């Protein structure tokens, strides 16, 4: 069986994807798999045909690598792949769609408002309750995200978010603990509490060593921890996700949990959260990579 690790892509998260992909490629090679690394670009289809892979291990972040487009292409080509399918990938990549589906399933999300460019032109900034979080509807790794505490900063934050798409989410800022739950297949692996040393869990804080403290397991009581793991698995299933995902949550000061988003292709770098969380369930990096691949193989045999 020839495994193609597909990484890179053309999104703003290309460099992170390449790092994740290289780590996965190295792990599979050390495990003895026949594996090839494929840098995803507009010639991706031709590269896959040339390499004659039997299964794709997707390590693409953002853009058409995580929104279901590449998954759809692979299905047309008859090549199985790791992780979530076309619909779940597209839904999870769209924060507005994710929130609406989670609400339908009774899963709490922070109060939010979605605006397009036409609505922004008519928006009365004074009506926005501060502090708030402004983010693009379809980006990952905290790209284009800003916490706004002053009215004079709101306009620039919204305009920055519009650089990454035609819809922007304005969300209530919830002060509290940020907890990420890892899910693999049909079980929650555990969680990690992230404590950025400055500001919030930004792109820089996510991918620069030393800028964030990681607490494994989170410093919360056992009952709340179990509740968060149940909620993470419920969110994963609500969108129809498969393979390994990471569900990002916040807990306010009263202990109320809120789901922010679901990452269908979580980072697999040395600072990434899913590999950290997986250690709580007894997986090292290699065994985690192997299980993600095995899940895809078993799914294809159904």
What are the residue numbers of the active site? Answer: 13, 141, 207, 246, 248, 261, 263, 267
Residues in Cβ contact with 301 at an 8 Å cutoff, skipping those fewer than 6 apart: none
End-to-end CA, the chain? 18
76 phi and psi angles, rounded to 5 deg = -65, -35
Which ranges constitute the DSSP H helices of the chain? Answer: 14-30, 44-51, 63-66, 69-77, 86-93, 95-104, 117-122, 154-162, 203-207, 222-238, 273-278, 285-301
- Closest by CA to 292, choosing from 86, 23, 18, is 23
Token digits for 157? 């934050």
Could you tell me if 147 and 200 are in contact, meaning their C-beta atoms sit under 8 angstroms apart?
yes
270 phi and psi angles, rounded to 5 deg = -65, -20
Could you tell me if 160 and 131 are in contact, meaning their C-beta atoms sit under 8 angstroms apart?
no
β-sheet with 146-148: strand ranges across = 112-116, 167-172, 132-136, 146-148
Residue 259's Cβ-side half-sphere holds a number of Cα atoms within 13 Å equal to 32
Q: What share of the chain is helix, strand, coil (3-state, %, to 5)?
A: 40, 25, 35
């Amino acid at each position: 069986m020839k495994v193609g690790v597909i990484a890179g892509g053309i999104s703003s998260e290309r460099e992170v994807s390449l790092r994740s992909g290289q780590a996965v490629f190295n792990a599979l090679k050390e495990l003895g798999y026949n594996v090839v690394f494929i840098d995803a670009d507009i010639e991706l289809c031709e590269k896959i045909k040339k390499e004659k892979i039997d299964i794709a291990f997707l390590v693409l972040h953002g853009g058409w690598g995580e929104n279901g487009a590449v998954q759809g292409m692979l299905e047309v080509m008859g090549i199985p792949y790791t992780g979530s399918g076309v619909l779940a990938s597209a839904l999870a990549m769209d924060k507005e769609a994710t929130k609406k589906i989670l609400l339908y399933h009774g899963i709490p999300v922070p109060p939010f408002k979605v605006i397009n460019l036409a609505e922004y032109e008519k928006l009365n900034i004074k009506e926005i309750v501060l502090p708030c979080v402004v983010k693009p509807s379809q980006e990952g790794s905290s790209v284009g995200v800003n916490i706004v505490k002053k009215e004079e900063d709101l306009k620039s934050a919204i305009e920055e978010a519009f650089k990454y798409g035609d819809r922007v989410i304005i969300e209530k800022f919830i002060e509290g603990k940020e907890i990420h739950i890892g899910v693999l297949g049909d079980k929650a692996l555990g969680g990690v509490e992230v404590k950025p040393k400055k500001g919030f869990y930004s792109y820089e804080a996510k991918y620069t060593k030393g800028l964030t403290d990681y607490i494994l397991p989170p410093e919360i009581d056992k009952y709340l921890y179990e509740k968060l793991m149940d909620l993470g698995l419920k969110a994963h299933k609500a969108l129809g996700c498969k393979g390994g995902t990471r569900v990002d949550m916040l807990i306010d000061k009263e202990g109320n949990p809120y789901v922010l988003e679901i990452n269908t292709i979580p980072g697999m770098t040395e600072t990434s959260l899913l590999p950290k969380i997986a250690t709580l369930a007894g997986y090292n990096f290699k065994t985690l990579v192997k299980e993600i691949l095995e899940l895809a193989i078993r799914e294809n045999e159904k």
